[in-house]
Structure 1
Amino acid sequence: MSAPEILLELCGMVPPEPMERVLEALDLLQPDQHIRMVIDREPVPLYRILEKNGYRYRTTMRDDYIYEILISQND
């Protein structure tokens, strides 16, 4: 059985590495899992890719200006 969450700590990485990491994780994502992406800037270009490929996401900016994005497959 797979873990319910794939955690990606991407703060401090230089583009395009954060995008590459999340795209790799999407290939591994199972229907019962989600990705928790933690990053120090809002990954706006990623949103279009997620929408185009049938993923849903929820973005939250924490008090420390770090973004947490939860990504899962559409049901």
Structure 2
Amino acid sequence: MNTRTVDARGLEPPEPFERAMEAIADLAPGGEFILLLDRMPQPLLRMLDRDGYRHDARFREDGAVEIRIGRP
């Protein structure tokens, strides 16, 4: 299974959040995608927690934030 990557680095707000929300809306149950950002998106992470999505965030060697987001 290929995991979709949404690269939202270098975009001005609110475009990264909007791209993340579009990808979340397209997720099938059990699906996941990777979101690449320039910084840790605390409001998005709180929303994911609130709505029961799985997520794992890490800083990559190139300084980007990589978040794997999954639908339960």
TM-score, with normalisation over the residues of structure 1? 0.87
Q: What is the Cα-based RMSD across aligned positions, in Å?
A: 1.3
- Tell me the CA shift for residue 31 of structure 1: 2.0
Gaps of 5+ in 2: none
TM-aligned CA deviation for residue 66 of structure 1: 0.5
Query: What residue number does 1:67 align with?
Result: 65
Equivalent of 2:29 in 16, 31, 41? 31
What residue in structure 2 maps to residue 17 of structure 1? 15
Unmatched 5+ stretches in structure 1: none
What SS class does the counterpart of residue 13 from structure 2 fall into?
A: coil
Q: Are the equivalent residues in 2 in contact too, given 1:59–1:70 (CA < 8 A)?
A: yes
TM-score (ref. length: structure 2): 0.90
**What SS is found at the alignment partner of 1:48?**
helix
Query: How far off is 1:4 after superposition?
Result: 3.9
Identical counterparts, % of pairs: 36
**3-state SS, counterpart of residue 21 of structure 2:** helix
Question: May I ask how many residue pairs the two structures share in their alignment?
Answer: 72
